[in-house]
């Protein structure tokens, strides 16, 4: 199989490494605007060559879009107009706006909307790693709107990567990712900004940072060029979960203000129930 990856960064580069390692792809073509990313990707042998978009599409059996979601819609509209029978898939964190943008396109059924639930706070081809994807979820969205053979190809790839498959419609996906992924990043950004505003001694932060603080604030290192478009496209769902999160913070604040430590304990005990879900 010949695979073209549009955007050879963290996710695209990591996919390239695994597709090559597992011999799923016999030839990997990169499409990348950044010359520095091209150079790094070739040095790391993430792809075999870089080609202009049209040439890459013509040669490929599978085209993977691994670019920020604000660029995905325009690129996807262009790509599915250029294909014949090739399969196209994306790996983005939002789905509803992307699928609405290509609704009714004659080649719509050759596109499979997916979201491999893996990532790190790092970005770019230097961050690509082969130690990824296994034992994580791969969400396939609105599969009934895609050709059966296209969905089967994507399913086989994710299964070979060691991922377990989940199926949901685009709207449900965006709601769930707002609660599971997007609010985690917002919380981390807010915590980092809180500490940076209140603690002016950088050495103190470094010296006192424990494992708990590091793990909570880790996502604050994430690339804003990726995350601002995600929050924008999933704005309504993110606002909904953010309102609930603020409500929970106010409860804790009120407990401390009123010295209501019994209710504070109840809130923490209730929070401990997350262990039942994340066991």
Nearest to residue 12, comparing CAs of 145, 99, 133?
Answer: 133
- Token pair belonging to 154: 């994507």
State whether 165 and 177 are in the same domain.
Answer: no
Q: What are phi and psi of 62, to 5 degrees?
A: -130, 135
CA distances to 13, 16, 80, 180 from 8, rounded to whole Å, are 5, 8, 19, 25
Query: d(Cα 107, Cα 85) in Å, to the nearest integer?
Result: 9
CA distances to 131, 155, 191, 215 from 125, rounded to whole Å, are 14, 25, 28, 23
Which positions ≥6 away from 139 have C-beta within 8 Å? 114, 115, 116, 117, 166, 167, 168, 173
Q: Residue 68 maps to which CATH number?
A: 3.40.50.720
Residues 63-98: pLDDT tens digits?
Answer: 999 999 999 999 999 999 999 999 999 999 999 999
Residue where a domain terminates, one of 152, 169, 186:
169
Query: d(Cα 134, Cα 143) in Å, to the nearest integer?
Result: 22
**What domain range is 246 assigned to?**
173-277
Total tally of structural domains belonging to the chain: 2
Q: What are phi and psi of 114, to 5 degrees?
A: -140, 160
pLDDT at 70: 92
pLDDT over threshold 80, residue 278: no
State whether 179 and 197 are in the same domain.
Answer: yes
pLDDT at 121: 83
Which pTM does this prediction carry?
A: 0.87
Residues 214-270: pLDDT tens digits?
Answer: 777 888 898 999 999 999 999 999 999 999 999 999 999 999 999 999 999 999 999
Q: Residue 215 maps to which CATH number?
A: 1.10.3660.10
State whether 131 and 191 are in the same domain.
Answer: no
Tell the burial category of 245 from Cβ atoms under 10 Å away from its Cβ (0-12, 13-18, 19+).
middle
């Amino acid at each position: 199989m010949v695979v073209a990856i549009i955007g050879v960064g963290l996710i695209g580069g990591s996919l390239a490494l695994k597709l090559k390692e597992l011999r799923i792809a016999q030839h990997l073509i990169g499409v990348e605007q950044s010359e520095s990313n091209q150079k790094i990707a070739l040095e790391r042998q993430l792809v075999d060559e870089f080609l202009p978009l049209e040439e890459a599409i013509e040669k490929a059996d599978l085209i993977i879009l691994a670019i920020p979601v604000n660029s995905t819609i325009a690129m996807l509209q262009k790509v599915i107009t250029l294909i014949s029978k090739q399969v196209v898939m994306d790996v983005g964190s939002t789905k509803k706006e992307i699928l609405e943008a290509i609704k009714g396109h004659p080649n719509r059924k050759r596109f499979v909307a997916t979201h491999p639930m893996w990532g790190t706070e790092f970005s770019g081809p230097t961050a690509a790693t082969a130690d990824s994807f296994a034992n994580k979820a791969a969400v396939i969205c609105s599969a009934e709107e895609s050709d059966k053979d296209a969905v089967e190809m994507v399913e086989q790839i994710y299964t070979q990567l060691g991922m377990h498959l989940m199926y949901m419609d685009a709207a449900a996906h965006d709601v769930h990712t707002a609660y599971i992924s997007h609010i985690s990043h917002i919380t981390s950004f807010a915590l980092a900004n809180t500490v940076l505003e209140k603690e002016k001694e950088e050495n103190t932060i470094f010296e006192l940072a424990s494992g708990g603080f590091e793990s909570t604030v880790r996502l604050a290192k994430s690339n804003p060029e990726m995350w601002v478009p995600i929050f924008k496209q999933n704005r309504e769902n993110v606002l909904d979960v953010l309102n609930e999160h603020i409500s929970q913070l106010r409860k804790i604040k009120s407990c401390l203000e009123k010295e209501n430590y019994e209710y504070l304990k109840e809130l923490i005990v209730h929070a401990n129930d997350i262990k039942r879900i994340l066991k």
